[in-house]
Structures are given as structure tokens and as C-alpha cells.
Amino acid sequence: MINLERIQIRHVLLSLLLVALTTISSMATHLRAGEITVRRESCTSLTFLITITVYTNTGSQIKFGEPGLLDFGDGSQPLMPPTIDNTIRPDLGPAIGTVSFTTSHTYAGPGRYVISYNEPNRNAGILNMFNSVETKFYLETVISIDPFLGCDNSPRLLVPPIDKACRGAAFYHNPGAYDPDGDSLSYEFTIPKREKGIEVNNYRKPNAKEFYDKIGVNYSTANENGNGPPGFTINPVTGTIIWDAPGQAGEYNIAFIIKEWRKTNGVWINLGYVTRDMQIIVEDCKNRRPELQVPPDICVVAGTKVTADIFGTDADFDSVKIEAFSQILNQNVIPAFVGAATYVPNPPKYQATGPSKIAKLSLTWNTQCIHVKEQPYQVVFKVTDFPKNGPKLVQFKTWNIRVVGPAPKWKDAAVPPNKRTANLEWNPYACNNAQTMEVWRRVDHIAYTPPPCVTGIPDFLGFVKIAEVPIAQSKYTDTNGGKGLAVGAQYCYRLVAVFPLPSGGTSYVSRDTCLAPIKVNAPIITNVTIDKTDQKAGQITVKWRSPYEINKVQFPPPFHYKVIRSVGFTGTASATTPHPGTLTDTTYVDTGLNTAESVYNYRIALYDNNNTLIDSSAVASSVRLETQSLFKQIRLNWIANTPWTNQSQKYPRHLIYRGDQGTPESQMTLIDSVNVSSGRFTYLDSGQYNKTPLVNSRVYCYRVMTRGSYGNIKVKEPLNNFSEIICAQPDDKTPPCQQVLSIKGTPCDQFIASQACGQNVYSNTVTWKKPTDQVCRDDIKSYNVYVATQLGADFLLYAENVRDTFFIDSNLPSYARCYKVSAVDRAGNESILSEQFCFDNCPNYELPNVFTPNGDNCNEKFSAFGKDIAIDENGNGPCGPVDEIALRSKCARFVESVTFTVNNRWGKEVYSYQSGGERTIYIDWDGKDNNGKDLAAGVYYYNARVTFTVVDPSKKTKDIHGWVQIIR
């Protein structure tokens, strides 16, 4: 509904603003700088406190708010703030004041809102824009209200946005920003604006050449050291602005935005930003800038006392004042920062400098567990000199202090007798404000002491996270997902404490605790190595060790074995025993495989002399090698799923073999090795071997040998296993062949006969065939599946890296979907999409032609067929025997909505119905008219407009006309 009154008020406000512009432009010379900051009242409220802070020219008669408009960004009526007198700020310089105005606003719901403030006018004489005295001043801040991202407040800025500069001396500024929620901040320049989306006229950067040419300064040597052109930069991490060095004296305005970022599910999300519009006043002076000495950035464990001295000097031996700005100093922090740092002297004061005199500020901070945070705390130091003549100059430097959680400490770890589980216990964690404890596991010990400030557990260590438990919990039993730990393996564990978002943070990793190898009372699989790469005649050798620690009284030898093979890294897809009977040997050569395209996994089943199954080994897969083509380079990546580790510190190197296309496995050349104990399973071939660059037109083939360990001195090491051979060409830009779908839909009569009326979950199976052309076939690495919801709609990428030639799209609300498939080669090139295939629904909607609303519970309501009917064990419903097969052919299917009207014999509407909410598509008319009165027995005529869920929009609606007799 349109609110005319609100629109009229808004127009009146805008009209008043325009009138005011024409009458006060000659006097409106008062706004120098400012920003808008936002604080959420509480995380359960949609009310925000919005603060406008501006810096003014006190020589102007115009006050803040004469007139200005604050727009909340949600379409609500803008607010005209009251006029507010300046607060004089002599510390910032002559004729400088500040004004702050705060108001509250409640938003209707989640969204991204642009909060802006617009007021005439900027102060006169700003050099780097046209006619500043008649240019409106505009500020903008963006906030996000998103329940999935959590509570959010805008960044706070602690350092005023006005500083003096001397011509020829590098200028420094830092806003002293922090985020109260612990979000990460980044900084970037923007152009000052005069209205929303409209930049000021003729804006130029302060280091534009014209500002140096006008005063006769050589632009190419205009920086402070006289050895290069002037620069104007902002550090995207610290926010420090450096102008090296100013030219023409006068006032300049710049603007920058402070973006806040929050990591959610491993992805950095931009929550919003604050725009600061600031002023730099350049004067002609001979003062030299003071200097700061700050400590190196540090990382401390929560509970550590931080002490530091910051020193200030001045080349002219002027007195200097050192100031500190930070969240940890409890400056402009709401609510108050608990456990704040302190510094002396406080308040800051000017201190003498000279050949033997250095100004000093001493900071002390007793860190606590509540200070743990993913991002470092920034302390911005500012030193200001006090020259005998001319303006004061400043220097800024930032000191980063990161507070991390202490490493968890183990209490006990053991394997219960005759079990394949591990009972783990650790001491209660020192910081109870942590949220969870992560439990990490790997096979075989690896030495690691975290470097300073490296928290969590690095990927290259080969640990896998197996659990994350509440921080109050201090025990965990590792059952390996119910499968039991692998026999013969030595398992090692580490702990990491995780702190809650949005501040986040993790602890240092604990030391590892390693168990004795799991008792070998089942076969130990040791090798799954590819001997030959081929699509039909591939060969894999599987080896294992006998269960040398089995209870031979309970299970007397001799033992027999079965090799069980499946497709994939894990699972039991296409599980089979590739040999007849059982084996007595502990080696099996598996032949007739497609090792070129498929990954296989194996487990060994153990049988006694009576062919009774005793136990089985863990599952181990073959090594899969993939390539990525680059310019004159080929990147290799490989993976395997094994119960042993392939990141052994004792045998850290995997071997890289290379040959020409068609080279047999035994004749490939060892060209290099990779230390995988300190990195990933990857190798970049840039022609290192024999210092011979790769040729883009040549095909290179590769094979990798992994080396692993169980961490068990009784199992021979290293465990060597080869990948398949894979070939690639550098700089391959040729896409693979187009794919052809081979799908057959289900006829509607067959569907209706096989599906009950209440069916509401469906699946589509998309199939295609591998190309018959061998070159096309060999080039394919994987497939992508694209989906459109109806004919004519855009196809969107739905599933990537599909390895099979089929894709099952399950848990669907209907069949109605269209599919296309593409092929992806090993270089990452994607084919054109296949022709589309569309699955469609079998929509149906039928209505009866008689019902009897007479209270006998039989046909009491006029309902579409398919509504649930209570049927007893004899197949009887309320009206007698029910023919379920006949009912299936009539029941409503894939219906979105129904509009239903009933007319009497004279054409007058007596009843109407619209499905939606609690009103179902079945109508369930009780024979009453729209006023709730019983209609007389007789014949009535209806029209039903039914909307179906179908893939073809032209078939979405259907009008059904008919008659119905009411019998009473």
C-alpha cells in the first residue's frame, strides 16, 4: 500500500533542502570531514544507533544540520537532524570544530542498507575539486542484517580525519580503526561524493601533476627524498595513508572506505563499509617530520603480560607528543573493553627531544583468554611535533598484537585390550571461553613444533580432523567412524581449541600423543600398485601381511584369503572377488582392469581352514594421478586413500617419472622427487630435468611413486606404490568433444501404475556415453552437469567433477528439470554443452461429479481424487471397498494451486475457493455457499483453474469445467 502522507512529507523535506541551498550557498562553508558509524542495540533487536560525526570550519556561521538529511536506506522517511553548535577543537588547529549526532532506527528485517547523510556545503577553497563552496557534503555507510552471518556493528575510527602537512615533507595518516566484533578490516581509496552515487566535480588526486607545476616543482623528483615522483597510497591492511610528498599549499579532501570482512564456512564475506571523507591542510613550512620507533609485531599466548616502550624523536629537536589509539585502550568502546591496556604518560604530553633526549610512551597489557582473536589487535601510534613556527607535523605507525589460545595438554591416550579403538583424554582447557576442541589424527609420528603465531594444524602435517567436541568435554573415543582402527598402524593425535565467531581464533596445536600400533590380528594391506596402465588390460598388484599377532589357539592356521575389489577411493561400488576360491599367498596380481580411467580399492578377507570368515583388512586404494596443462609447464597432483600414511617423515619423498607417449612403465625416467612431509601431493614440471624447457607441442607422460609407512617397526618400509601413467601437453587449449546424452524418460502410464498417490520425492538419472573416438575418449578427465528448471530458462552449473557417465539427481520435489552435460579435459578445458534433455512430470487433476454431505461419513465432501483415505486391513474405506489401482490413475499429481468456483443453474456464483496456506489443492467443499449456508440438493456447475508443476511453461495451467450433483 502506498503511503501518500509519507511521500508528501519526503517531498516537502527535499523542497526545503533545495530552497535552502539557494539561500545559504554563500555562507555554507563549514563541512571539512566526517563519517557515519553504526552500533546495533542488541543482537536480538533490529534497532541500530547511527552516529554522524563531522569536522567543521568554525569560521562559518552555518551550523551542522542547516539543513541536512539522514537517509536510513530502507525507503523510510529521511530524518532532518537538529542544528548543533560546534565543539571547538584547538588541538586539531585553528578554525576546526567537531559535531556528533546520534539517532536510533529500527529496520523491518534482513537486508543490505546504505545509510547516507547529505548536507550543504563543503568549506571553500578545496584545491582538488571544483567549486567546493557550492558542493554538498555526502557520507555513506553500508550495513548488513543477515541472521546467517550473525550480529554486526560498523568499524570505529579513533583518529580525527584532519591533519596538517608541510610542502615537500611526506604526510602520514591512519584512522585508528577497529571492529568491535573482531571482523577483519581492509582499506581502499574512493572519490568524495556530493550525493548518493554522484562524485564531486573535477576531483583530482592530491598528487596530481598540476599541484606541483603551479609552484614550479619538478614532478619527477617531487617526493621527500627528491628521487622520484610523489606517491599517494593507502595500506590495504593497516589503513596508513602516505602522501610523499605534498606540493601546492592549501586544503585537499580525500575519501576512503573501511570494509569489514567475516569468514563464514571458509569464505570471506563483505559485511559492509564505512566511508571517511577527510581533509589534509598543506602549508608552506620548513618543519621536518618527527619519527616513531615501535616494537616488531608480536604474538602472545593469552595470559602473557605485554610491555613495550615506544620512542619519539624529532630532527629539529622540537618537543613531541606520542599518542596511542586502539580498542585495547578502551577508547570509544561500547561495551567497555574488559582487561584494557594502560600507558604512560596518560594523558599524552609533549616531551623534550634532543641529542640525548628521546620521548617515550610505555604500554602495559595483561592479556586474558577473552582477548583471543583471529585477527591481531592494532595499536596506532601518532607522534606530533611542536615547532617554534608553522604547523605541527605527525607520523603514524601501527603495532600488531595477536593473542592466541594456549596449547591444549594431554592427560592420557590408550587402546583398550583387544579393541581397535582409542580412548583419548586431555586436561580441562585453560580458556573456558573457547567453543570447541578439535581432535586430529594421522598414522605415524611426525615431529612438529609450531613457529611463533602459527596456530591450528598445518595441512602438510597430514593430520585429519576426526572430531570437534564442546570445550567442556575432555574425553573422546576414536572408533574410526565405527569401522575400527586399522591393524598394524601407529596412530598419533593432536588437539586444537577453537574460539567462537565473530572474533574467532584458534590455539597453538598440542604436542602429539602416539599409541602403540594396533594389534595385528587381521591382514595388513601394504601395497596397491599399478603395474600397467590400460583401459582394458590394466594391472594392479595387491600385497598384504598375514595376521602375525592373531590368537592362534582361537584361530589355528593355515589361513586363506579373499581379495575384494571395488571401484573408487572408498566404498563398495561394483564390489567383486576377482579370483576363484581363496588364496594362500599374500600377493595377488589383478588383471583386465581399466587403470587408465578408474580408481580401485581393495580389502583382504581372512578365512580359517574351514573357510569361515574371521576378519578383514582396512581398505586401500590405488594412487590416482591428474595433470593440469600450463604454458610450458605441467602440474601434477595425486591422491590415494590408504590405512598407512604417504607423508612419512622417514621417507618423505615421492618419485616423479616421465616419458614419451607409449613409453612402457619400466622404461620411464626418474626426473625428480617431492618432499611431501612439508607440502602437498603436487609437482610442477617446468623443465627442471636436464634444464630442458618443456615444448608446448609435445606430449609428456608421467607416473608417480608414493612412499608410505604404518609407523610400525614390524612392517617393512617404505611402502612403495605407483600411480597410473597419464599424458598431457603443455598449454593445451583444445576443448574435449561434445557429449551425447542417452536418456529415456518413463512413460506416464508406467509412472502412474507404479507410483502411489502420496509420492512427493523424486529423482532423475542422467546418462551419457563415452565418445567412441579414442582421442576424444582419452582426453576426458571429468564431466559437469548443468540444470534448468524449465524450458527456455538459463542452464546453471549444478555438479562438477563427475567421474561416472551417469548422474543421479535425487531428493527432488518433482521430475521437472532440464539437463545438459559437458566434458572437462586434464588441462581444465570444457567442451560445449550437450543438447538438452528435459524430464517432465505427469500432471493430473480429476474431480468427482457427485457427493453426499448428509453426515454418514461417506463422500461427505467434494474433494479431488488422491486425498488420503483411511483404508482398513480388508481394503475398505468409509464408502466400502477401495480400488487402489483405479484410484492411482485419478489422483492429483504435481499440482501447485487450484482456483475453484461453483455456479447454480442460473449462472450465479454460489461458492469460490483458492488454495494456499492451510487450504489444500483438494478443495474439500462441504456443500455450503460462500455465506456458510447449506446449498439445496441438485446439480451445480464448476470451473477449476489448475496450475501444474511442469517443465513447459505453456502447459502450466489447465481449465477444467464440469458439473457436480449434491445429494442430501
Q: Where does the pLDDT of residue 584 fall: very low under 50, low under 70, confident under 90, or very high at 90 and above?
A: very high
Higher pLDDT among residues 869 and 396, named by residue: 396
Please say whether the dihedral angle defined by the alpha carbons of residues 607, 608, 614 and 618, taken in this order, is positive or negative: negative
Instruction: Write out the three cell numbers for 554.
Output: 582361537
Is residue 1 predicted with pLDDT exceeding 50? no
**Residue 293 burial (CB < 10 Å; 0-12/13-18/19+)?**
middle
Rounded CA separation 325/396 (Å): 11
User: Which CATH class name applies to 524-621?
Assistant: mainly beta
Residue 770's pLDDT is 87
> What integer is the mean pLDDT of 509-533?
97
List, in order, residues 6 or more apart from 713 with CB less than 8 Å away. Answer: none
Rounded CA separation 719/430 (Å): 41
Instruction: Write out the three cell numbers for 475.
Output: 574425553
| Sequence letter at residue 557 | P
Domain boundaries, the chain: 4-283, 291-404, 416-500+507-514, 524-621, 624-728, 740-839, 850-966
- CATH code reported for the domain at 850-966: 2.60.40
Contact present, 788 and 818 (Cβ < 8 Å): yes
pLDDT in tens, 736-791: 999 999 998 888 888 877 787 878 899 999 999 988 888 888 788 899 999 999 99
Please state whether beta strands 513-514 and 491-498 pair in parallel, antiparallel, or not at all (unpaired): antiparallel
> What integer is the mean pLDDT of 632-638?
95
**Average pLDDT of the chain, as a whole number:** 92
Complete DSSP assignment for 707-734? EEB-S-TTS-S-EEEEB--EEE-TT---
Measure CA of the first residue to CA of the last residue in the chain; give whole Å. 45
Please say whether the structural domain 416-500+507-514 has been given the CATH code 3.40.50.300. Answer: no
- CATH code reported for the domain at 740-839: 2.60.40.10
Residue 387's pLDDT is 93
Q: Where does the pLDDT of residue 17 fall: very low under 50, low under 70, confident under 90, or very high at 90 and above?
A: very low
**Domain 291-404, CATH homologous superfamily name and number:** Immunoglobulins (2.60.40.10)
CATH topology of domain 4-283: Immunoglobulin-like (2.60.40)
Instruction: Write out the three cell numbers for 857.
Output: 461419513
Is residue 647 predicted with pLDDT exceeding 70? yes
Is residue 259 predicted with pLDDT exceeding 50? yes
pLDDT in tens, 648-692: 999 999 999 999 999 999 999 999 999 998 778 999 999 999 999
Complete DSSP assignment for 19-79? HHHHHHTTT---EEEEEEEEEES-TT--EEEEEEEEEEETTSSPPBTTT-EEE-SSSSPPB
List, in order, residues 6 or more apart from 548 with CB less than 8 Å away. Answer: 520, 714
Rounded CA separation 291/320 (Å): 9
pLDDT in tens, 482-513: 999 999 999 999 999 999 988 999 999 999 99
Please state whether beta strands 241-244 and 171-173 pair in parallel, antiparallel, or not at all (unpaired): antiparallel
pTM of the model: 0.75
Q: Where does the pLDDT of residue 5 fall: very low under 50, low under 70, confident under 90, or very high at 90 and above?
A: very low
| Sequence letter at residue 651 | Y
Helix (H/G/I), strand (E/B), else coil: 407 = coil
One CATH from 2.60.40.10, 1.10.630.10, 3.40.50.720, 3.40.190.10 for 624-728: 2.60.40.10
User: 242 to each of 158, 165, 286, 400, how far by Cα in Å?
Assistant: 18, 11, 19, 19
Rounded CA separation 226/235 (Å): 22
Total count of residues recorded for the chain: 968
Q: Where does the pLDDT of residue 9 fall: very low under 50, low under 70, confident under 90, or very high at 90 and above?
A: very low
The percentage of the chain sitting over the pLDDT mark of 70, rounded to a whole number, equals 97
Helix (H/G/I), strand (E/B), else coil: 557 = coil
The percentage of the chain sitting over the pLDDT mark of 90, rounded to a whole number, equals 78
